[in-house]
Amino acid sequence: MLNIELLRKIVNRKILAITFHSIIIFCVVSFLSVFYSIASRSGADYPVANIGFPFKYYSQFWVGNGYNKHGVRLWEILHGWMPNYFFIDFSLVWILVCIIYYFLFYR
């Protein structure tokens, strides 16, 4: 009976470690995807921010909505959030970290 409890603690600790590393990697990849989307539009008149890799789960963009009385174009910022892609992206990262853990520690 003691061995089963010890095994449960070990498995829970490994799942917690995999989840922690997945969160860190997911945040870093999302952060880098924002920088890439902003840098790729560096010569444009307005920045566009897209978050997510391989699926874009958040998008922020500018839309021109007319002109003021001086003839200057007015811009409005819009954004969109796709929670399904967020969960798919995180699940892919979690599966990738599980595979890396398997090859690093169980081979």
- The whole-model pTM stands at 0.78
Q: What is the DSSP string of 2-64?
A: HHHHHHHHHHHHHHHHHHHHHHHHHHHHHHHHHHHHHHHTTTSSS--EEE-SSS--EEEEEEE
What is the reported pLDDT for 90? 95
Residues 6+ apart with CB under 8 A from 99: none
Residues 6+ apart with CB under 8 A from 85: 52, 55, 56, 57
What is the reported pLDDT for 44? 67
Q: What is the pLDDT along the chain (107 residues), one digit of tens a residue?
A: 568 887 788 888 888 999 999 999 999 999 999 888 888 876 666 777 889 988 999 998 877 777 777 777 777 778 889 999 999 999 999 999 999 988 988 77
Distances (CA, A) of 70 to 34, 36, 66: 34, 35, 11
Q: 94 in helix, strand or coil? A: helix
Provide the domain limits for residue 18.
Answer: 2-105
What is the reported pLDDT for 43? 65
Number of structural domains the chain divides into: 1
Give the β-pairing of 73-81 and 58-67.
antiparallel
